[in-house]
Every structure is written in C-alpha cells, then in structure tokens.
Chain A
C-alpha cells in the first residue's frame, strides 16, 4: 500500500520513466524466504519453538524494518534530503544486515537425515584441512570465537575471494561479513544472538555452539566456495 503510493508520487514528480520506476520498485521490497525444512526438523539440536520465532518473528522484523528504511531512503533521495539519507544508514545496515545474515543462516542448516552434520566434501573440505588442520579444529576455533563474542553478533567462515583464502571472523549485531573486508564472501554464519538459543540453552552459549554442528549443512558453503575459488 505504502509502496504503491510512493510509486504514484514518483510518477507525478519524475514523469514517465517507467522502466526505471519498475526497477526501483523491484529493488525495494524483500520478503521472508521459506525455510527448506520444518521448524521442528532440526530438533533436538535446535527446538522448533526457537526456529519458528527466529524465522517468523525475528527475520520477518528485520525485513519489515529494512523495507521501511528503504522506502524512507527512496523518499529522502527524491526530496534531496541528505541528512535523512545519512540518518537512515544505521537502520539499513542493521535491518538489511539482519536479512542478509539470516537468509544465509537458514541455508547453512539442514535436518540430520538431509545432510545436516555431514562433513564438507570436495575442494572446501581440502581447503579447511589446509587452512585449519582439520574440520575439528575449525569447529573449535569458531566455537571459541562465538563464545567469546560480547553481546549480539555472528561468527563466520568466509572466503577472501581475492586472496583465495579461508577466514574466520566475527561481526557485531547484524553487521554482514562484508563489513570486515570488501573481498570477504560468507560461506557459513552462526547466529550467536541470545534469541538463537535462549529458550533452549539459556545462558550456556557454548552448548548451543557445540550442538549446532549436528545440523550444519555444508552444501551451500561448498557451492559458494567452488564458485569463488574454481
């Protein structure tokens, strides 16, 4: 509804460039991606209640607020209102980041009978052994970084697409991995916000980190890695 009225306003002010209008409209709304598995399918590693709230409420809220911020940005740009454009950056980074990060996270998970917990195959498996010694030590390192992260954030396995090198990074809040370096591409992200585990693990984040590997699906990570490092 709001978008339609925005589009109308734009038509009135900018005239008839309908192609550009369609493009900008297409860029403007994001919607919640479906999960490729049921909410309860990751139990007992992650409870169905957590998955449902996490997907339907948290991810949805990031998307709603991201769309809202983009709409306001669009309007501010039309009006040439630079201070609003600048002011909106933090909401865009937070909510847009929340959308990006959770979209990757869902793809990094799968029920045990659908590949969850199976070690990575192919070139990513080799690269992990070369960079970290073994999958076990990669897991240990990511768990340690995730446990030590203050407050809310993410722990990532990424690939530096220029150096063709695997990296472990953490980001605060909803900062996407690219904020740690423009060449970094996320392969696997673990959400260490309290909402990701609190109903089940309470204050014991290390137990959540230990158990999540039982439902980590390496398929997405392997595909992205092979694309970036053919």
Chain B
C-alpha cells in the first residue's frame, strides 16, 4: 500500500522528476522494480490507468500570431496525441503499465541503451512540459530567485538568452533545448557525486536529440523548446533561428519556470536530507562492524601474545 501511495504522490508532480521522491543516489532500477511488482498485484483490482492527452493550458489560437492555431492543431492534436496513444498501446500488458510516466522514461532509457517505449514516453512528457513552458503574452524577463540564479550562473540574463538560443539552433536534426537545475550530480549520466557541494547546484543549458530529456541525467528540467521541424515548419519553414527568437521574446512563461525552480529546489533539498540520513545510518552500521572486527583482532592478538 505504501508503494502505491507514494506513486500516487509522484503523479501529482507530473512536471518534475520523480527520482527525488524515490530517494537519492540509487539507480532507478532497484527502486522501481519492487514498486512495480507491488503495483501489479494491486492493479488487478483497479481500472488500468491510461495516459491521457492533456490539452495545453490555453486555447489553440491563444498563442497567435506567434504560434498559429494550425501549428497547435497538428503539434498537439496529432503529434502529441500519437505519442500518447502509441505509448498506451506499447505498454499495455507489460511491466511498464501503471508506472508513472517519469519512471517509464527512466526505466526505458536504460542508461542510453534505449528500450522501445522510451521515445513515446519521453515525447509524451516533453510535449506536456513544452505547452506549459509557454503562455499567451509570455516572454520578457524573469524575476526573483530565478533571475538571481540566471545571473549567477550565466553572467547575465542576456548571456543566458544567447546560450539558450545557440543550444536550440545547434541541435543538429530533431530535438530539444533545455534550461535545467542540476543538483549534486556529476556531469556523468546518473553517476553519484561523492563530494556534493553548494556550487554543484546550478542552472545549465543543455540540448538533447529526438526524445531525450534531462530527466535521464537526473537534472530538474525548468524550460524547454521543441526544435523538431514540426514545431515551427508551418509558421517559419526553414527559419529555425526566427522561431527560437520568437519563443524567447513572446511565449516563455517565466512564472511556470519559476514555479518549477522552486519545486526543484525543494525536492533537491529533500533528497539531500535523505542522503545525509542514509550516510549517517551507514556510518553507524560501519562503526558497529568495525567494533566487532577490533574485538576479534584484539582476541587474535591476545592469543598470539600467549
């Protein structure tokens, strides 16, 4: 019951990585497998939940004239829908059925050796995250904590804009560009940082090919732009740089980004506390172990001394 309850909790944070809730510094697999087994037992008594295509938090013509209704009709109504529907078909009756979307993404990413469900799962998530990164009358400049961190980590807001734009423009082929919050992790996929420090917690700009997103590196995504051609072709054709500028200047919802940052910081802090607790427990265990060894050692010493 506990496992099912914690999964229900993570479903209420669909926009943030769920790793934080599963506990820090453990690979996703040992964590999700027991959950999954338990879930499957429970699931026989429940209606199997399917992922649903969530509409953007605005009407389809609300981003005009910058992003046309036609683009949204295809991008959300066709592309996004297909990812969700194919994912549901793909996981029906498999061990992935019933898991939160974030868990499916991480399990099926499989440390880079991707399994079939990954593309649909990650694209379903990415598009939700993208719709909520925008709002009618968006753009402008962030404020508060977010602006402070941007200025600290990129030098200035203008430099951040530059870096984000060039990441989005330089993603060869289809993919995404991201602003993400990176906390206590090495720059290696899912690796554990043995010496986390305050300066590891920072904002980074990353790009990712096709369906990949920063959840698989254990970062907290804050903002994304879709740079698949379908995202801009009807409105901008080959002019990707114009689309990127328009997105930055007219559509970004900095409120959404700020809210995500606050959640990310809270989750990172929670994760850190749990890690501290775990470290302490392990130290205590180790001290107990050492005491026994010392006792045995001194025993042998005694017998040798005789």
Contacts and interface: CB of A to CB of B under 8 A. Distances in A.
Interface of A: 53, 57-58, 61, 90, 94, 150-153, 172-174, 193-195, 198-199, 202-203
Contact of B229 (A90, A153, A174, A195): A195
B238 A202 contact: no
B173 A153 contact: yes
Nearest to A49: B237
Contact of A58 (B82, B174, B238): B238
Interface of B: 74, 78-79, 82, 119, 172-175, 209-211, 228-230, 233-234, 237-238
Contact of A194 (B172, B175, B230): B230
6 contacts: A53-B237, A90-B172, A151-B210, A172-B173, A199-B237, A202-B74
A151 B230 contact: no
Nearest to A203: B78
B174 to A, nearest CB: 4
A203 B230 contact: yes
Contacts of A61: 238
B237 A193 contact: no
A194 B238 contact: no
Contacts, number: 55
Can you list the 5 inter-chain pairs with the closest CB atoms, starting with the nearest? A151-B174, A173-B173, A194-B229, A151-B210, A152-B173
Contact of A152 (B174, B234, B237, B238): B174
Given A151-B175, A172-B173, A198 B230 contact: yes
Given A150-B210, A152-B174, A153-B173, A199 B78 contact: no
A199 B175 CA distance: 19
A208 B238 CA distance: 19
Contacts of B230: 194, 198, 202-203
Contact of B234 (A53, A173, A198): A198
A195 B238 CA distance: 8
A203 B74 contact: yes
B78 A151 contact: no
